[in-house]
């Protein structure tokens, strides 16, 4: 199971267990369930604030009954534990298997912080009136009512005095039975919870009497101070107003905020409101109003928790379908998560401040669910098309193995064409489309091979005939020095000769022609390149020699490029240079020199490109320069 699948499975189970707890009398109580799957085991943690005191046995019994009813898939070993918010270790835990539930084999470990007996209701739930009062209360009620069974099945840490007044007393387990190995929790990991200081021993009666009187006075004074210092006992009760403000802000956050974590922000505000009212003691005149508000805020907090759970389910669903294409299995898992999220929001009462937010999110989730349903239907349809294409390809492969004649190869060709056409019908926004794309190259290759084998004999004869005919045409163009056409026809003749399939009646005739045609083609291309070089040289010389007056005349052959300056050009160049000297015009003289230098470089470049020697003559036919290409 992937991490994402395990998380989504755990979220769905958390929601179901929360519903069972509410149905069993835990409604509107701050008991939060979290689950974790590991192979064939399940761990369930119940977390609550110090203000809530639970009986372990009834709570575990409800959770166990719920798990047995839900029957998580592939789970054998189940571990349950209860812990106080902010504490690292649980104060009670219990394990069982799907085949051996709690009534036949209970295992519960609880840690007692004080030896006082804490009265609780038969439901197993005690709401402390004061957070400070509950700080020293044992967060437990023994799991077994039978004393002997309790002694046998429950195991408690032993306390002993430390060697130093400042050192805390660590938990030690004197003896743990062998069957504790089945328990997924290790009591040795529990943190120190009690610090016991050594008490000095004094025996004189006088000191005892004095100490007693002082103690009584101190207790009276401390008690009076404690009673009067509790919230909302003396003066105005600002906690009620502040709590209401936080509650109103929570509702406003849900109503106006557009960010994704608005339920979490609203929950924090409600927790703040509850934390303000919980410390109000029973002797406060505002106790009744505070309890009413507390009940209201706790109910709101539970509704916000439902919205948070729904949002987590929705996030898991969105992650499963965040890629443009996904499998039908992922789509089905996402749909189940969307439905669970919608169902979770549907349990929020219409009179709750959370209801408008829930309605808005329900509409959004239903839209996503509908979109997912459409995409899921498309994906299932795509999978059927992909299977049909693969089936057609398998038939084509079977026929290919026995095909011999042109007709049977035609059947193979038709099979591959049908398989490719079927793949083309797969919608592009599906995972099956991506799988189909990987098959297309293979199917196209198979189709090409089948088509080639179908026509192989006809192609063989036609290719050989075309090769011989084109070679004859190439020779004709060679006789006319038409090297461009000769090269083209030799190239086509060679191509047809190479296209003659092997293992055919014409393959042996075509084989010796291939080397001959290659040689002829190379020779024709050399001639063509020479002709192109000569033509380019002529074009470059035309461009270089033109002017007013014309600069030069030329002749081009395979062995020499002859360039002769025209008399008019030479005369004009000389006149310009003489006039510049007479006028002492440095710029004109430099311009003439630069012009001559540029002309010289241009002529040398033409000779280099053509790979032909060049000789340059003046207007009277005297050679004035020459250039050999490198």
| Location of structure tokens 């021993």 | 201
Q: Do 370 and 389 belong to one domain?
A: no
Per-residue pLDDT, 205: 63
Which residues, listed in sequence order, are joined to residue 564 by a DSSP beta bridge? 553, 617
CA 147 to chain centre: 55
CATH of the domain at 442: 1.20.58
Q: Do 315 and 275 belong to one domain?
A: yes
Q: How confident is residue 188, by pLDDT bands cut at 50, 70 and 90? A: very low
Q: Is there a domain that residue 42 lies in?
A: yes
Instruction: Read off the tokens for 3.
Output: 């991490």
Cα–Cα distance between 417 and 399 in angstroms, integer? 14
Q: Do 134 and 257 belong to one domain?
A: no
CATH of the domain at 517: 1.20.58.80
Per-residue pLDDT, 476: 93
Cα–Cα distance between 420 and 413 in angstroms, integer? 11
Q: Do 25 and 169 belong to one domain?
A: yes
Q: Do 110 and 24 belong to one domain?
A: yes
R_g of the chain, CA atoms, integer Å: 49
Q: Is there a domain that residue 351 lies in?
A: yes
Q: Do 63 and 169 belong to one domain?
A: yes
Instruction: Read off the tokens for 149.
Output: 């069974």
Of 393, 333, 382, which Cα lies nearest the Cα of 1?
333
Tell me 282's DSSP state. T
Interval 195-235: pLDDT, tens? 333 444 445 565 666 556 666 655 665 555 555 556 776 66
Helix axes 431-454, 456-479, angle to 10 degrees: 70
Interval 48-84: pLDDT, tens? 888 888 888 888 888 888 898 888 888 888 999 999 9
Q: Is there a domain that residue 414 lies in?
A: yes
Tell me 174's DSSP state. S
**Three-class secondary structure of residue 79 per DSSP:** strand
Q: Do 522 and 593 belong to one domain?
A: no
Task: Please list the helix, strand and coil fractions of the chain in percent, rounded to the nearest 5, in that order.
Answer: 60, 10, 30
Q: Which of 141, 162, 194 is the last residue of a domain?
A: 194
> Any residues with CB less than 8 A from the CB of 220 and at least 6 apart, and which?
none
Interval 511-570: pLDDT, tens? 999 999 999 999 998 888 888 888 888 899 989 998 888 999 999 888 899 999 999 998
Cα–Cα distance between 536 and 302 in angstroms, integer? 90
Q: Is there a domain that residue 398 lies in?
A: yes
Q: Do 477 and 410 belong to one domain?
A: no
Tell me 52's DSSP state. E
Cα–Cα distance between 148 and 178 in angstroms, integer? 18
Q: Do 523 and 414 belong to one domain?
A: no
Q: Do 342 and 423 belong to one domain?
A: no
Q: Which of 426, 449, 472 is the last residue of a domain?
A: 449
Interval 275-298: pLDDT, tens? 888 888 877 877 888 888 888 888
The boundaries of the domain holding residue 616 are 549-627
Interval 124-149: pLDDT, tens? 444 333 333 333 333 333 333 333 33
Q: Going by DSSP bridges, is the β-strand pair 32-38/92-97 parallel, antiparallel, or unpaired?
A: unpaired
Q: Is there a domain that residue 208 lies in?
A: no
Cα–Cα distance between 251 and 301 in angstroms, integer? 11
Q: Is there a domain that residue 230 lies in?
A: no
Q: Do 564 and 465 belong to one domain?
A: no
Q: Is there a domain that residue 232 lies in?
A: no
Q: Is there a domain that residue 72 lies in?
A: yes
Q: Which of 396, 416, 449 is the last residue of a domain?
A: 449
Q: Do 518 and 441 belong to one domain?
A: no
Number of domains the chain contains = 5
């Amino acid at each position: 199971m992937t991490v994402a699948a395990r998380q989504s499975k755990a979220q769905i189970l958390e929601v179901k267990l929360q519903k069972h707890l509410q149905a069993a009398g835990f409604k509107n109580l701050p008991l939060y369930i979290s689950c974790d799957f590991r192979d064939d085991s399940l761990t369930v943690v119940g977390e609550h604030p110090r203000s809530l005191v639970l009986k372990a046995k009834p709570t575990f019994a409800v959770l166990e009954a719920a798990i047995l009813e839900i029957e998580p898939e592939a789970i054998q070993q189940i571990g349950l534990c209860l812990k106080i918010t902010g504490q690292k270790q649980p104060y009670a835990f219990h394990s069982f298997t799907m085949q051996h539930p709690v009534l036949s084999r209970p295992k519960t470990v609880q840690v007692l912080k004080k030896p006082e007996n804490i009265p609780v209701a038969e439901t197993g739930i005690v709401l402390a009136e004061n957070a400070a009062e509950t700080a020293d209360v044992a967060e437990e009620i023994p799991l077994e009512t039978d004393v002997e069974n309790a002694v046998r099945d429950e195991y408690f840490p032993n306390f002993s005095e430390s060697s130093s007044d400042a050192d805390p007393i660590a938990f030690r387990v004197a003896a743990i039975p062998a069957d504790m190995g089945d328990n997924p929790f290790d009591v040795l990991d529990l943190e120190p919870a009690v610090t016991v200081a050594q008490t000095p021993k004094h025996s004189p009666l006088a000191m005892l009497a004095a100490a007693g009187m002082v103690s009584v006075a101190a207790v009276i004074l401390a008690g009076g101070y404690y009673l009067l210092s509790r919230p909302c006992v003396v003066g105005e009760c600002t906690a009620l107003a502040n709590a209401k403000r936080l509650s109103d802000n929570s509702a406003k956050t849900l109503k106006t905020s557009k960010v994704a974590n608005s339920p979490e922000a609203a929950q924090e505000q409600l927790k703040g409101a509850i934390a303000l009212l919980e410390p109000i003691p029973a002797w406060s005149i505002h106790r009744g109003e505070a309890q009413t508000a507390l009940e209201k805020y706790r109910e709101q907090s539970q509704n916000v928790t439902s919205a948070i759970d729904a949002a987590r389910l929705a996030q898991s669903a969105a992650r499963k379908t965040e890629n443009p294409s996904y499998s039908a299995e992922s789509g089905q898992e996402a749909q189940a998560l969307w439905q669970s999220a919608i169902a979770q929001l549907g349990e929020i009462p219409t009179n709750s401040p959370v209801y408008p937010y829930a309605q808005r999110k329900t509409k959004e989730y239903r839209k996503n669910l509908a979109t997912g349903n459409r995409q899921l239907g498309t994906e299932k349809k795509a999978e059927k098309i992909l299977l049909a294409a693969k089936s057609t390809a398998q038939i084509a492969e079977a026929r290919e193995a026995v095909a011999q004649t042109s007709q049977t190869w035609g059947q193979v060709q038709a099979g591959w064409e049908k398989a490719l056409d079927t793949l083309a019908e797969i919608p592009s926004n599906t995972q099956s489309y991506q799988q189909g794309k990987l098959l297309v190259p293979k199917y196209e290759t198979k189709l090409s091979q089948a088509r080639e084998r179908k026509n192989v004999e006809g192609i063989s004869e036609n290719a050989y005939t075309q090769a011989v005919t084109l070679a004859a045409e190439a020779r004709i163009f060679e006789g006319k020095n038409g090297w461009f056409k000769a090269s083209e026809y030799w190239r086509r003749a060679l191509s047809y000769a190479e296209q003659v399939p092997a293992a055919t009646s014409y393959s042996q005739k075509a084989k010796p022609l291939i080397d001959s045609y290659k040689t002829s083609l190379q020779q024709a291309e050399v001639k063509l390149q020479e002709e192109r070089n000569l033509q380019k040289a002529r074009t470059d010389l035309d461009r270089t020699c033109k002017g007013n007056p014309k600069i030069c005349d030329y002749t081009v052959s395979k062995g020499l490029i002859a360039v002769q300056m025209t008399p008019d050009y030479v005369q004009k160049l000389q006149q310009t240079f003489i006039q510049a000297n007479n006028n002492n015009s440095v710029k004109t003289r430099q311009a003439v020199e630069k012009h001559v230098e540029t002309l010289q470089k241009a002529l040398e470049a033409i000779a280099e490109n053509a790979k032909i020697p060049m000789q340059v003559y003046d207007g009277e036919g005297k050679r004035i320069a020459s250039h050999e290409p490198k």
